[in-house]
Amino acid sequence: MRNYFSKAKHRIFCLFLAALIFPFGFFLLPFPTVYAEKMSDNLSSLPITATSYLIQSGSRGAVMANEKEEELITTPSIHQIMTCVLALESLTLDTLITISSEAEAFDALRTTERLKIEKGDKYTVGFLISAILYKDSRAAALSLAEYIAGGEEAFSQQMNAFAERINLKNTIIASDYLQQSENQKSTGIPSYTTLLDLGILFRYALSKTTFREIFTSYSFDYFAPDKSYHSLRNTMSGAWVLSYDSAQILGVSNFPFAHGSGTLVALAGNDNFECLILLNNVDNVALYDDLMKTLEGIYSTFEASDLVLSESFYQEVQIEGIAEPIPAFFKSTIRYLHPKKDAYLEEDTVFRPTEKLSLPISNGTTIGQVIFKLRDGSEISADVIAKEDIALRSTGFMQIQKLFDANRNVFVIISICFFLLLFVIIVKITVKISRFSKKSSTKNRNL
């Protein structure tokens, strides 16, 4: 009896202990990670001093983080980068440009980071573009404007036409844009843009090989007019050592304002993907810290994966006007950006056939596009091709071919029957020829 009560007390104690532990154990259970529907929500609050920013993928401009990117801003970065692009599209890097008295005066306004250029000196386009990107030199920008268009006002018209051409919807370059950026008295409407427009321009510029080479270098070596050798160094050259995991800063330009802040334009990347970093109104004393925090935020949150592989099979597709479906294969490998551990893809895809496609179709012909949809509403298209020559065929022939493809045994049996029949026919013809030869020979003997 004593043992029974002892065991009962033990059971009650164990139940009481389990009742105490169970609620706490519940909180120790692992919970699934929930990813935001919008890709940019993953980095919606970067801990940086910039009051507005835009982080985009380098491949297709997917937005990874954004804050007030559509807000109108005044920044010298828009006309400085645009000046470099227009110069590269109309001049060669070794074209010599003579410095004017106005350009010399602009350079003299600087208390720091002066180029020390003088009227009558000749410098190459490569030097002047480097001076813009590395030192934010208005003197270099004016020299290029004078050489290309004859002056600041005429060049602003070319820049506005260029902005319209590449679809910068909220960008205006004032006729006295350089005087405005140097805090001189303005006589017209101020220049303005948005970070969205600046992102479009920056991606366009990076598509130019020469711009990319200069932007991703932190110094430019040159000979001064007195034949002495010098190196023009980027004021942000220290940013090249910033890295997170395998990602690092590949190039950066700082376009400062007079009140102690500025616009930072940078390119970062690793073997996985590249991204564009636009930080506006960032405190000049926090430039490197803001860059590092942005770099860490991006590459700890996102990764790039293969969306499709070159020559991999998609599916058989139906094209209007062609009776039978055509096997479609992806033309090239396509990678896409997404949050880590989240494919970020909708399940359904859409096939859009090439217009005015008809038989015959040769091997390698693009027969349409496959549209992949991401959960943020954006789309990625992938070309698909035919991997064999598809000749013009009758419907009956295609049905027979489909029957053979579906059942190889039928094809083998029919082939054997055909060759047997052919053999019998050949034997009969041989026998008849032999008999005819014998009859002819007998007649000849009788004669």
Tens digits of residue pLDDT in 24-70: 443 333 333 333 334 554 555 789 999 999 999 998 888 999 999 99
For residue 76, say if its preceding peptide bond is cis, omega within 30 degrees of 0.
no
Q: Which residue has the higher pLDDT, 279 or 443?
A: 279
pLDDT at 287: 94
Region 330-337 average pLDDT: 93
pLDDT above 70 for 23: no
Please state, as a whole number, how many other Cβ atoms lie within 10 Å of the Cβ of residue 208: 15
- Interior angle at CA 296, CA 291 and CA 302, nearest 5: 120
pLDDT above 60 for 329: yes
The pLDDT confidence band at residue 294, using thresholds 50, 70 and 90, is very high
Lowest mean pLDDT among 85-99, 108-122, 132-146, 227-241: 108-122
Region 278-291 average pLDDT: 94
Q: Which of 41, 50, 42 is nearest to 292 (CA)?
A: 50
Assess contact for 219 and 232: CB atoms under 8 A.
yes
Region 9-26 average pLDDT: 44
| Rounded-to-integer distance, Cα 9 and Cα 1, Å | 12
Contacts 24+ apart (CB under 8 A), 423-427: none
Mind giving me the DSSP string for 233-300?
E-TTGGGGG-EETTEEEEEEEEEE-TTSEEEEEEEEE-SS-EEEEEEEEEEGGGHHHHHHHHHHHHHT
Tens digits of residue pLDDT in 334-344: 998 888 888 88
Element (H, E) at 139: helix 138-149
Lowest mean pLDDT among 319-323, 368-372, 407-411: 407-411
Assess contact for 178 and 141: CB atoms under 8 A.
yes
Please state, as a whole number, how many other Cβ atoms lie within 10 Å of the Cβ of residue 189: 11
| Rounded-to-integer distance, Cα 381 and Cα 357, Å | 19
Q: Which residue has the higher pLDDT, 399 or 437?
A: 437
